[in-house]
Chains A and B, each alone.
Chain A
């Protein structure tokens, strides 16, 4: 689960990390009070969306008067911001962060992720901030450092000093960086983060380290024990069908084809998409009904798939391990009757109670193609979608 910059910065502040004084606003008129509360004569206004590349897309602006801040808020609130990291529809802007202006001397890069290879939290630092870090890693690997944190010992000062060398920090900044690294590690662990990125981490004209941006993502498996963070969830940043699916414990990702897919298991769902493509078709979505699919969830999944107007045929592919195929069959029939499906449905059932499931489907009296061989089921779906 992703957080907005203002939410990430609130967490940073909680862990004594240096962030700009800022106020988040949801209505244009609030900008005036925000500017006054912050003080000064210059402010930065930043559209809050779950995507990077906002500056280049016009979503960040330096303003000299509160009126300009109000105008900026008016121009963005309720609109969609399209950046190189969003899709062509963009992301809805429903809040603006107003911040004091920071004079920048240098831009650095710092992030932390869970590295699968070393099975540790790894900090990534570079003296080249504010740019595409993948390019830095590729072209100038000596300008980037990867430092892994032992789960038992935590982040040690020597590790901060090592990173500081690559960041080209002076002694004063290095002394600031030691507690910063330790606090970031504490934040990462205590709040169950999956990703933390400060791009850029800056050295101000006063020579101090400062977090100018905050990109924070939480491990979705750990949300249950982070109730305060769960409250920060902003469903407006997600595809509406994906959000609806998530509310029903389903994994759904919309794609641009016309064959709707309902599958159990993420791997098989991807394999089914690949199979459709292999036989010349195009999947409309990825949908994993999960291991403990109930009739209700299957009905819900059907509705979400059919909500996509592009879908011309639905392929249901269930290999029952935990999930019983007879329940899936009943769910499919219930959904078809409830939603009033008028496009073809191809169902392939295998595994736990598959025969019983197929029998239920064949006796249902609704229009279903029941095909137990996956290759044939995929071919049939492709043919029907043409």
Chain B
């Protein structure tokens, strides 16, 4: 078991023929991911990476029956592509692209919720179930099948947590990058719920960062609903107030959403805190040894 994606997942890549999509689709295919085709408007009928290319999602759905869409189209076209995938009857959409306008996401999120579809991202590394399927841009080599479920708002921080749990021989059930944008398709809570119900996942790592209140909300949810141990690391403990740190959803405004706030709330709710980025893996091992 795992969550969201596995060997059986039939993946369609939107923006398939672009350079980034090509690079990462090749790696995903090498990893064993079942990519059944791609969509690039105007290139229908072509063959790319030995897979068929379609003009529309509707055609792709009919011809190769995908159940997950992986989106690499440029930011200005993401709203259109996500909605096209959603309306085609796909169950899972993963949008890697960064820089999607926030107001586009307001509309998209409303529609996605109405249709009951799972959207991961945008502005995220994607989802990987080690040894089964890789739908994203993460480096495959650092992963290993195992028992740790990982959720993170930041791409490279996810890799850090993955590497450390692999080095300790714990491995991962599934790793989900939910993205750092203000309006993410899925929240920590959405993914925590899935890990709680996944028998392969024995322990959950939640990597958060300053800004917003997603970690605080998750903390309360964990206290009331999650019986598996949760380890959390919060980035941005030394970030000065009022400064925006890059494109991440990392804004400390009015003293809300600071690392200290998040850490104290998480501790209060029974979440184990890794004080230092380099100690995520060892904290997981420590918690596991006590259970």
If A221-B102, A275-B276 touch, whether A253 touches B245 (CB-CB below 8 Å) is yes
> In the assembled complex, which residues on chain B have CB atoms less than 8 Å from the CB atom of A152?
110
Task: Choose, from B5-13, B30-38, B43-51, B153-161, the stretch at the interface.
Answer: B153-161
Decide: A114 and B160 in contact? CB cutoff 8 A: no
> In the assembled complex, which residues on chain A have CB atoms less than 8 Å from the CB atom of B212?
116
- Residue from A270, A272, A350 within 8 A of B159 (CB atoms): A350
**Chain A contacts with B in 273-318, Cβ cutoff 8 A:** 273-278, 283, 286, 288, 291-292
Cβ-closest 4 pairs across A and B: A267-B154, A265-B156, A266-B246, A266-B248
Decide: B102 and A267 in contact? CB cutoff 8 A: no
Which residue of chain A is the closest to B255 with respect to CB atoms? A134
Which residue of chain B is the closest to A189 with respect to CB atoms? B103
Using a CB–CB distance below 8 Å, which chain A residues touch chain B? Answer: 114, 116-117, 119-121, 134, 151-152, 189, 192, 194, 219, 221-222, 224-225, 251, 253, 255, 263-278, 283, 286, 288, 291-292, 319-322, 350-352, 373-375, 378
> In the assembled complex, which residues on chain B have CB atoms less than 8 Å from the CB atom of A219?
101-103
**Can you sample 22 A-B contacts with CB below 8 Å?**
A114-B102, A114-B103, A114-B183, A116-B213, A117-B217, A119-B110, A121-B106, A134-B255, A225-B76, A266-B248, A266-B250, A267-B156, A267-B157, A267-B209, A270-B236, A271-B154, A278-B275, A286-B243, A288-B247, A291-B155, A321-B139, A351-B139
Assembly CA distance A352 to B156 (angstroms)? 12
> In the assembled complex, which residues on chain A have CB atoms less than 8 Å from the CB atom of B139?
320-321, 351-352
Which residue of chain B is the closest to A120 with respect to CB atoms? B106
- Residue from B107, B213, B247, B248 within 8 A of A151 (CB atoms): B107
> In the assembled complex, which residues on chain A have CB atoms less than 8 Å from the CB atom of B99?
221
Assembly CA distance A138 to B12 (angstroms)? 49
Quick check: is B270 within 8 A (CB to CB) of the other chain?
A: no
- Residue from A114, A224, A264, A267 within 8 A of B153 (CB atoms): A267
Choose among B209, B249, B278 the residue with the greatest number of A CB atoms under 10 Å from its CB.
B278
**Chain B contacts with A in 157-184, Cβ cutoff 8 A:** 157, 159-160, 163, 180, 182-183
> In the assembled complex, which residues on chain A have CB atoms less than 8 Å from the CB atom of B213?
116-117
Choose among A114, A222, A268, A273 the residue with the greatest number of B CB atoms under 10 Å from its CB.
A268
Secondary structure type dominating chain A contacts: mixed
Decide: A268 and B246 in contact? CB cutoff 8 A: no
- Residue from A221, A288, A378 within 8 A of B246 (CB atoms): A288
> In the assembled complex, which residues on chain B have CB atoms less than 8 Å from the CB atom of A117?
213, 217
Least CB distance from B199 to A in Å reads 29
If A267-B153, A288-B247 touch, whether A319 touches B101 (CB-CB below 8 Å) is no
Least CB distance from A226 to B in Å reads 10
Assembly CA distance A373 to B235 (angstroms)? 18
Decide: A151 and B110 in contact? CB cutoff 8 A: yes
> In the assembled complex, which residues on chain B have CB atoms less than 8 Å from the CB atom of A277?
237-238
Choose among B139, B156, B248 the residue with the greatest number of A CB atoms under 10 Å from its CB.
B156
Least CB distance from B182 to A in Å reads 5
> In the assembled complex, which residues on chain A have CB atoms less than 8 Å from the CB atom of B106?
114, 119-121, 151
**6 other A-B residue contacts (CB within 8 Å) besides A266-B246, A267-B209:** A114-B103, A221-B102, A225-B101, A266-B180, A274-B237, A319-B163
Least CB distance from A327 to B in Å reads 13
Choose among B139, B183, B212 the residue with the greatest number of A CB atoms under 10 Å from its CB.
B139
Least CB distance from A275 to B in Å reads 5
Assembly CA distance A221 to B104 (angstroms)? 10
> In the assembled complex, which residues on chain B have CB atoms less than 8 Å from the CB atom of A255?
240
Decide: B154 and A265 in contact? CB cutoff 8 A: yes
Assembly CA distance A220 to B220 (angstroms)? 32
If A267-B209, A350-B159 touch, whether A134 touches B102 (CB-CB below 8 Å) is no
Least CB distance from B240 to A in Å reads 7
Quick check: is B138 within 8 A (CB to CB) of the other chain?
A: yes
- Residue from A189, A224, A269, A321 within 8 A of B138 (CB atoms): A321
Quick check: is B117 within 8 A (CB to CB) of the other chain?
A: no
Assembly CA distance A269 to B235 (angstroms)? 9
> In the assembled complex, which residues on chain B have CB atoms less than 8 Å from the CB atom of A283?
238
Which residue of chain A is the closest to B153 with respect to CB atoms? A267
- Residue from A120, A192, A224, A253 within 8 A of B244 (CB atoms): A253
> In the assembled complex, which residues on chain B have CB atoms less than 8 Å from the CB atom of A119?
106, 109-110, 183
Decide: A272 and B76 in contact? CB cutoff 8 A: no
Quick check: is B226 within 8 A (CB to CB) of the other chain?
A: no
- Residue from A266, A275, A286 within 8 A of B278 (CB atoms): A275
Assembly CA distance A121 to B207 (angstroms)? 27
Least CB distance from A85 to B in Å reads 8
If A119-B183, A274-B238 touch, whether A267 touches B142 (CB-CB below 8 Å) is no
Decide: A322 and B250 in contact? CB cutoff 8 A: no
Assembly CA distance A67 to B183 (angstroms)? 51
Least CB distance from A363 to B in Å reads 22
If A265-B155, A268-B160, A288-B246 touch, whether A114 touches B182 (CB-CB below 8 Å) is yes
